[in-house]
A and B are shown apart, each in its own frame.
Chain A
């Protein structure tokens, strides 16, 4: 009996220290969500303006034949940018993204395209390495706090591969969108060839006739890469906020489970302790009775 009691005490101690760790992780994640959300909101004005500017150029120039907007007739290769996190402890966050990426890959292969993965985040990279799959690009170290420079780096790699004749012909992105604190959704979007997300063109929102400095083509040349960078930056920010939210949720349920375990173990431990005491008492009483009986027998 004594052994069981000791065992339970040890388990309670270890679960308690685990609960402390997960609780701390939960608190850290909660405070980081707020920061990540603020960064997401801070990036909104730029994104809105650049989308507006791109649609302004596209609506002003009737025949846009920019290499970034024209779909190739015979696409042969597709790039998929997969945004995962650097660290684990975030529930199904990475598994969900990778599952969605696999589904997209199967879909693209079905269309006869060769798929080239570009991976962001250590978890996604190790996932690919473990399956010895070749990656066309990998970036890590910033998944929880991406800067615009990172987005630019990724966009540069994607765009230069897109412009090569034997490079990729389509670019898709798989990331987790931050819908709310409680809901995050994995989304798949095509970013190249470009489909500008335009607000509905009601008569009131028809674009004015713009002058361009220097020319519409030049403006488009420098505008489109910026637009793609901004899309990627948005995906990174969304993914970072989602990562923190997923981690907070995972750590909260881990803490709850640990606390539940502790109360179960405590109950078992008390029971064991009581059983031990009862047994000791009955042993003593039994022993005393035996002695008394023996003494009575002598007389």
Chain B
């Protein structure tokens, strides 16, 4: 079966690239699963989403992806994230701490958009690291 060539890039560096069987990402319209032979798609990713790359014989690659785009054409999948982090690279303690702080400031001020964003990001990082949120 054909494989997908996947590249996950952020402005500062290439996070990961390699071959995969399936890519699952979350666009603003909802979750989207890409398998080989998928029609060309260009989607906007949500803030604080989790990207899952299913690979043959290896564990899934999970990454927290904050904003950006997903572009699929001709079995090439590019994930352009404004910021991204592999699940294995996430500092769980720091992310938990960030989540708690963000939640505290949301409780203090319901309108705090920055804190909401921060909470979403921290939650995504924790989910990518395999923690329950």
Contact = CB atoms under 8 A, between A and B. Distances in A.
Contacts of A207: 73
Contacts of A9: none
A292 interface: no
Interface of B: 7, 9-14, 17, 27-29, 32, 39-44, 68-71, 73-74, 78, 80, 82
A209 B44 CA distance: 17
A127 interface: no
A91 to B, nearest CB: 28
Interface string A22-50: 00000000000000000100110111011
A56 B12 contact: no
B124 to A, nearest CB: 18
B12 A42 contact: yes
A53 B80 contact: yes
B11 A213 contact: no
Contacts of A142: none
Contacts of A16: none
Contacts of A230: 11
The binding surface of chain B is classed by DSSP as strand
Given A46-B10, A46-B80, A49-B71, A208 B27 contact: no
Interface string A52-63: 110011000000
A118 interface: no
A56 B44 contact: no
Contacts of A223: 44, 69
Contacts of A212: 41-43
B14 A42 contact: yes
B51 to A, nearest CB: 15
Contact of A148 (B12, B14, B28): B12
B27 A213 contact: yes
Contact of B40 (A47, A208, A218, A229): A208
A172 interface: no
Contacts of A233: 11
| A-B residue pairs, 10 tightest by C-beta | A213-B43, A42-B13, A148-B11, A208-B40, A46-B9, A45-B9, A210-B40, A49-B78, A45-B14, A213-B27
A42 B27 CA distance: 25
Contact of A209 (B9, B17, B40): B40
19 contacts: A39-B12, A42-B13, A43-B12, A45-B17, A46-B10, A46-B11, A53-B42, A53-B80, A56-B71, A148-B11, A148-B82, A210-B42, A211-B41, A211-B42, A212-B41, A213-B27, A213-B43, A218-B28, A222-B69
Contacts of A49: 7, 9, 71, 78, 80
Interface string A201-216: 0000001111111100
A47 B80 CA distance: 9
A226 B74 CA distance: 24
Given A42-B13, A223-B69, A226-B80, 20 more contacts: A45-B14, A46-B14, A46-B80, A49-B7, A49-B78, A50-B69, A52-B71, A52-B78, A53-B80, A148-B10, A210-B73, A212-B42, A212-B43, A213-B41, A214-B29, A218-B44, A219-B42, A219-B43, A226-B82, A229-B11
